């Protein structure tokens, strides 16, 4: 068996596990998620291709799998998921970012500067991430966490929040 055949076989195994995330059986979905998590970060690109799945439970399972893999490669997708319509999906995304620690700070803050209209969901998710990182003592001592958390609480003052974010980004 050559490298391409091994890769193709592994790809089809991953695709089969992803299909099982759509199962009616909770146990089958749970087992498929656990198997995908065991495979690690190399399955993230496969999972990301299915993130737009319209079936809510499958979407939940895919995002939950990405969150449980706990790899920095997932940061952009978890940040994007902070804007999901469903609260439980936003929660999974924020938990995934929290698991990854302070390394999410810069990409998360940068993402906020690139959005023309920041939803209250994204602001609440970002607040949650920074609040929990601070609570878990994952924020550097010189990071202006109190100022940032306060600014997140007043979404009507977006200009003030952006000033604080740009100031922080200059120092990161």
Please report the pLDDT score of residue 33 as a whole number: 95
Task: Give how far the C-alpha of residue 56 lies from the chain's centroid of Cα atoms, to the nearest Å.
Answer: 17
- Residue 9, pLDDT > 70, answer no
Query: Length of the chain in residues, anyone?
Result: 172
What pLDDT is recorded for position 34? Answer: 96
Q: Is the pTM of this model over 0.85?
A: yes
Q: What is the pLDDT of residue 172?
A: 86
Backbone dihedral angles phi then psi of residue 158, each to the nearest 5 degrees = -60, -40
Nearest Cα residue to 62 out of 45, 77, 50: 50
Name the residue with higher pLDDT: 156 or 135.
135
What is the distance between the alpha carbons of residues 160 and 53, in angstroms, rounded to a whole number? 36
pLDDT band at 21 (very low <50, low <70, confident <90, very high): very high
Q: Which residue has the tokens 């799945």?
A: 53
Which of 132, 118, 125 lies closest to 162, judged by CA?
Answer: 118
CA 105 to chain CA centroid, Å, is 12
Burial of 80 (0-12, 13-18, 19+ CB in 10 A): middle
Is residue 38 over pLDDT 90? Answer: yes
Please give the structure tokens belonging to residue 98.
Answer: 């929290």
User: Mean of the per-residue pLDDT values for the chain?
Assistant: 90
Per-residue pLDDT, 1: 38
Angle, vertex CA 135, rays to CA 169 and CA 100, nearest 5: 60
pLDDT at residue 146, as a whole number: 95
The 10s digit of each residue's pLDDT in 99-111 is: 999 999 999 999 9
Alpha-carbon separation of residue 56 from 33, 49, 86, 108, 150 (angstroms): 16, 15, 9, 25, 33
Q: Quick check: 149 and 127 in contact, CB under 8 A?
A: yes
Predicted confidence (pLDDT) per residue in 63-105, tens digit: 999 999 999 999 999 999 999 989 999 999 999 999 999 999 9
Q: What is the mean pLDDT of residues 149-164?
A: 85
Q: Does the pLDDT value for residue 155 go beyond 80?
A: no
Give φ, ψ of 154 to 5 degrees. Answer: -120, 75
Least confident of 9-13, 16-20, 112-116, 137-141: 9-13
Furthest-apart CA atoms within the chain: distance in Å: 61
CB atoms within 10 A of CB 166: 11
Window from 115-119, 136-140, 155-159 with minimum mean pLDDT: 155-159
Which residue carries 């959005």 as its tokens?
115
pLDDT at 120: 87
């Amino acid at each position: 068996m050559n490298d391409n055949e091994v890769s193709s076989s592994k790809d089809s195994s991953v695709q089969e596990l992803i299909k099982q995330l759509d199962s009616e059986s909770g146990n089958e979905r749970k087992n498929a998620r656990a198997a995908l998590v065991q495979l690690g970060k190399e399955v993230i690109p496969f999972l990301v291709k299915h993130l737009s799945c319209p079936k809510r439970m499958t979407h939940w399972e895919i995002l939950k799998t990405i969150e449980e893999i706990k790899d920095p490669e997932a940061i952009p997708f978890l940040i994007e998921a902070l804007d999901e319509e469903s609260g439980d999906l936003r929660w999974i995304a924020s938990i995934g970012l929290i698991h990854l620690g302070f390394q999410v700070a810069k990409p998360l803050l940068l993402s906020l500067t690139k959005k023309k209209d920041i939803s209250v969901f994204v602001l609440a998710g970002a607040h949650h991430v920074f609040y929990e990182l601070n609570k878990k003592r994952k924020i550097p001592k010189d990071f202006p966490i109190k100022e940032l958390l306060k600014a997140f609480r007043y979404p009507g003052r977006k200009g003030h929040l952006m000033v604080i974010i740009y100031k922080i980004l200059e120092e990161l």
